[in-house]
Amino acid sequence: MKFLVFTLTFLSSFSAHAADALYKISHRIPLSGPEGWDLLAVDPQSDRLFVTRSNRVDVIDLKKDAVIGTITKGLDGAHGVAFVPNLKKGYITSGRTGKVVVFNLDTLQVQSEITAGDKPDVVLFDANSGKLFVFNSSGKSVTVINPENDAVVKTIPVSGEPEFGAVIGNNLYFNTEDNNSLGMIDTHELVLKKTWPLPGCDGPTGMAADIKAERIFSACGNGVMVVSEAKTGKNIKNIPIGKGPDGSGFDDGYIFSSNGGSGDLSVIKVRDPNSFDVTQTLSTQKGARTMAINSVKHTIYTIAAKYAAADPKAPHTRPAILPGSVEILVLNR
């Protein structure tokens, strides 16, 4: 009887885990030019992928897997992209100019610029409050913009350099990379409500959120994903991930971390709000540190390139990207 119970338990567990989604690299989309990149953003309505690359943004039609436009006007150090579909507007942060560039989602034509803080990086749109939030890295602040008139509503000082963020309810959560903490801003009152430490985390960058379970996931430079309870900031668990993470995401019961140092994607299954399993470590490519998810298609995008040999006389200098080697990696189940 004991053997039968053990066997049934094992088979039940095996069946549950065997049903876990497995991802693979389905294909690659080549990009021209030797420029590097920062962030990726998917506009699911137009089925386009936006890739920020120094002084420009490449726009990829995902139906054709081809670049169909480039945005350059006003950009110097392009970082994040956000979309406001009902207004047909997109927003790009220009880190070196301290501006946010506004463009038309249909035509990709630049319409105007908005002054943000010092080195604007990530930008996100919260449909609930109807506001844009711009994370000013060097400025250690968050600029709030009303997309109806593109006016700056407020600039909120925070405790450190804000990185990626996510919204649950009326609260905006964000990592502060330089002091290893999690911040919370009320999206209606526009004030910093809380700052919590992230135990065991060094250099939090990527963030994902499970809105239903009210869990925040912070990807840390020391190879852990810190799970926090959204309401209290309580540490739930630290999950091992790869080296050099940056981008993170949540989709269909899974957490993802794109790890450029180890060249892989950590896939983590949420069993319940307090239980998580690393179900796959998918080999991607060295340098593939950022990512974006199309939650409609359950497709993940990351980006990588091949590099020239390192200069022995300048060992701390980043090697040059080989021409024609920049590619979008498309990951599917």
Q: Which amino acid is at 207?
A: M
Residue 3 has pLDDT above 70, yes or no: no
Interior angle at CA 103, CA 74 and CA 83, nearest 5:
120
If 0-12 CB within 10 Å is exposed, 13-18 middle and 19+ buried, where does residue 203 land? middle
CA distance 194 to 155: 17
pLDDT digits (tens, 9 = 90+) for 67-102: 999 999 999 999 999 999 999 999 999 999 999 999
Instruction: Report yes or no: 37 and 80 within 8 Å, Cβ to Cβ.
Output: no
Render pLDDT for 96-145 as a digit per residue (tens, 0 to 9).
999 999 999 999 999 999 999 999 999 999 999 999 999 999 999 999 99
Residue 131 is assigned to a structural domain of this protein: no
Query: What is the domain extent for residue 277?
Result: 164-289
Q: How would you class 19 by CB atoms within 10 Å of its CB: exposed for 0-12, middle for 13-18, buried for 19 or more?
A: exposed
Q: Which two tokens stand for residue 68?
A: 């169909």
Residue 265 included in any domain: yes
User: pLDDT of 148-167, one tens digit each?
Assistant: 999 999 999 999 999 999 99
**Domains in the chain: how many in total?**
1
Average confidence (pLDDT) over 275-293: 98
> Does the structure show a pLDDT above 50 at 8?
no
Q: What is the DSSP letter of 284?
A: -
Q: Would 120 be classed as within a structural domain?
A: no
Which residues have a Cβ under 8 Å from the Cβ of 9 and sit 6 or more positions away?
none
Say if residues 217 and 226 touch (Cβ distance below 8 Å). yes
Strand segments, DSSP code E, in 77-130 are: 78-84, 89-94, 99-104, 110-115, 120-126
Residue 313 is predicted with a pLDDT of: 79
First to last CA, the chain: 39
Token look-up 């600039």 returns 155
Tokens 């119970």 — which residue? 5
Quick one: pLDDT at residue 2?
43
Kindly state whether residue 276 falls inside one of the protein's structural domains: yes
Q: What is the mean pLDDT of the chain?
A: 94
Per residue in 232-251, pLDDT (tens digit) is 999 999 999 999 999 999 99
State the greatest distance between any 2 C-alpha atoms of the chain, in Å, as a whole number. Answer: 73
Q: Is residue 328 part of a domain?
A: no
Is 193 inside any structural domain?
Answer: yes
Q: Is 151 inside a domain boundary?
A: no
Say what the pLDDT of residue 20 is.
85
CATH number of the domain at 186, please.
2.130.10.10
Give pLDDT, residue 15.
41
| Per-residue confidence band for 17, with pLDDT thresholds at 50, 70 and 90 | low
Q: Provide the residue type at 322 as one letter.
A: L
* Structural domain contains residue 277: yes
Spell 79-105 as b/e; 16+ CB within 10 A means b.
bbbbbbeeeebbbbbbbebbbbbbbeb
The answer to whether the beta carbons of residues 309 and 319 sit under 8 Å apart is yes
Task: State the average pLDDT over residues 255-264.
Answer: 98
DSSP class of 251: E
